[in-house]
């Protein structure tokens, strides 16, 4: 079902971002914000707050950031994504925080003669098409989403992109789920059928409705933007960023180029074209990290459960096996076509937080790289050959 992709659509994929105690702002077709305007005056309204247990959060902690999005426009709104730009004036400097436009595992097809989409979850696809959307809001409808973010430098700017569609554009461009002889299809609707799908719901949590909106990428340059700033007082670390920078012998990095890990109580700083883990007693070089902030966000979130590590290359599995790591081997046949199947072997490690520092050191010694893959139902770390 398309609804199963909703959780994946709201996966947090940015670790080095921050949050504010409480803030609100207004949308602007020019990309600006005006927090002095009152909600419900004809545009997209947004309020943000940190879920806190009392005392001010400490620098580097992960916290729940709550976004409440209200469609005060006269037209339907389709949310695309929420990003955190490092530099508002620098194109391409944003990292995604939430996305409502996403792909799903399975085969997605389009029949031009019928103007109809089909979705078969059980069939493999060569490529995944990000045509699904879980962020359609009709006028006067509200959506509340929660994401876990890392609190670092304040203030932080966030940017929200969305599309505003007239009633005629909704009829022509938005495809709604229908059932046809046990086949899941998506079609444009008119009349009463469409009106029934656009009744405002009082439910504010994620998962209002799931549609296919294939126009998000082609017209991304026409997306409307809202920019807003959050400010939150943070208690400093006992071992501060400035102290970590001096210990590592580097210049202070710019926002977004460093992070913190609460599990290891250490700063992750860039040095010598890589990263080092810095504590009051040590500066430890790290292996190549393909997505540093996401990796440590995942680790801090998953512990105390064991950390899942996937190895797809036999050479990497063999090298770690020689170091006495206990691996689980998974063999399965994967359909390549309707007639051909390919045998694939994958190895898995399940590590505790106590085992992980040695694992990072061994990866560096073996010249292996660490990455992360978020997928439906969660995520896992990946080991690659360089």
> Domain boundary at 230, 254, 278, which?
230
**261 lies in which domain range?**
237-286
Do residue 102 and residue 212 come from a single domain? yes
Kindly tell me if the per-residue pLDDT of 81 is higher than 60.
yes
Do residue 213 and residue 300 come from a single domain? no
Do residue 166 and residue 29 come from a single domain? yes
Q: Which of 29-33, 270-274, 281-285 has the lowest mean pLDDT?
A: 29-33
Q: Mean pLDDT across the stretch 294-321?
A: 91
pLDDT tens digits, one per residue of 30-62: 434 433 444 445 788 888 888 876 677 888 988
> Domain boundary at 230, 256, 273, which?
230
Do residue 213 and residue 358 come from a single domain? no
Tokens of 159: 């940017």
Do residue 65 and residue 212 come from a single domain? yes
Nearest to 5 by CA among 294, 286, 212: 212
Do residue 225 and residue 243 come from a single domain? no
Kindly tell me if the per-residue pLDDT of 204 is higher than 70.
no
CATH of the domain at 352: 3.30.70
Structural domains counted in the chain: 3
> Domain boundary at 230, 249, 266, which?
230
Do residue 261 and residue 275 come from a single domain? yes
Do residue 36 and residue 159 come from a single domain? yes
Please provide residue 106's backbone torsions phi and psi, each rounded to the nearest 5 degrees: 130, 180
Do residue 147 and residue 269 come from a single domain? no
Do residue 216 and residue 199 come from a single domain? yes
Nearest to 152 by CA among 353, 32, 297, 23: 297
Kindly tell me if the per-residue pLDDT of 152 is higher than 70.
yes
Write down the pTM of the prediction. 0.75
Do residue 277 and residue 347 come from a single domain? no
Kindly tell me if the per-residue pLDDT of 25 is higher than 70.
no
Do residue 248 and residue 348 come from a single domain? no
pLDDT tens digits, one per residue of 164-181: 999 999 999 999 998 877
Distances (CA, A) of 315 to 325, 346, 364, 372, 385: 14, 12, 15, 19, 8
User: What is the predicted pLDDT for the residue at 219?
Assistant: 56
């Amino acid at each position: 079902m398309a609804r199963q992709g909703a959780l994946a659509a709201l996966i947090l994929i940015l670790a080095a971002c921050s949050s504010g105690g409480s803030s609100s702002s207004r949308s602007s077709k020019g990309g600006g914000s005006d927090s002095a305007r009152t909600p419900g005056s004809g545009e997209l309204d947004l309020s943000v707050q940190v879920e806190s247990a009392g005392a001010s959060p400490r620098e580097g902690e992960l916290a729940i950031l709550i976004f409440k999005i209200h469609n005060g426009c006269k037209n339907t709104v389709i949310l695309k994504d929420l990003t955190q730009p490092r530099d508002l004036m620098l194109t391409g400097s944003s990292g995604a925080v939430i996305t409502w436009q996403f792909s799903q595992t399975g085969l997605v097809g389009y029949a031009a003669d019928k103007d109809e989409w089909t979705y078969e979850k059980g069939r493999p696809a060569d490529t995944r098409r990000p045509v699904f959307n879980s962020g359609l809001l009709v006028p006067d409808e509200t959506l509340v989403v929660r994401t876990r973010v890392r609190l670092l430098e304040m203030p932080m700017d966030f940017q929200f992109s969305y599309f505003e569609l007239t009633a005629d554009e909704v009829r022509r461009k938005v495809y709604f789920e229908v059932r046809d002889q046990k086949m899941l299809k998506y079609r444009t609707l008119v009349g009463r059928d469409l009106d029934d799908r656009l009744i405002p719901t009082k439910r504010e949590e994620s998962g209002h409705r799931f549609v296919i909106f294939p126009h998000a990428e082609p017209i991304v340059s026409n997306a409307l933007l809202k920019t807003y700033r959050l400010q939150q007082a943070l208690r400093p670390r006992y071992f501060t960023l400035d102290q970590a920078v001096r210990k590592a012998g580097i210049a202070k990095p710019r926002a977004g180029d460093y992070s913190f890990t609460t599990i290891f109580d250490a700063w992750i700083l860039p040095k010598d074209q890589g990263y080092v883990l810095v504590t009051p007693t040590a500066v430890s070089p790290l292996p190549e990290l393909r997505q540093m902030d996401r990796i440590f966000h995942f680790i801090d979130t998953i512990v105390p459960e064991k950390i899942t590590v996937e190895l797809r290359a036999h050479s990497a599995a063999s090298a770690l096996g020689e170091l006495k790591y206990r691996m689980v081997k998974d063999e399965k046949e994967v359909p390549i076509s309707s007639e051909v199947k390919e045998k694939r072997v994958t190895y898995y490690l399940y590590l505790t937080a106590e085992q992980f520092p040695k694992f990072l050191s061994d990866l560096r010694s073996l010249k292996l790289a660490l990455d992360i893959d978020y997928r439906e139902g969660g995520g896992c770390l990946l080991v690659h050959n360089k």
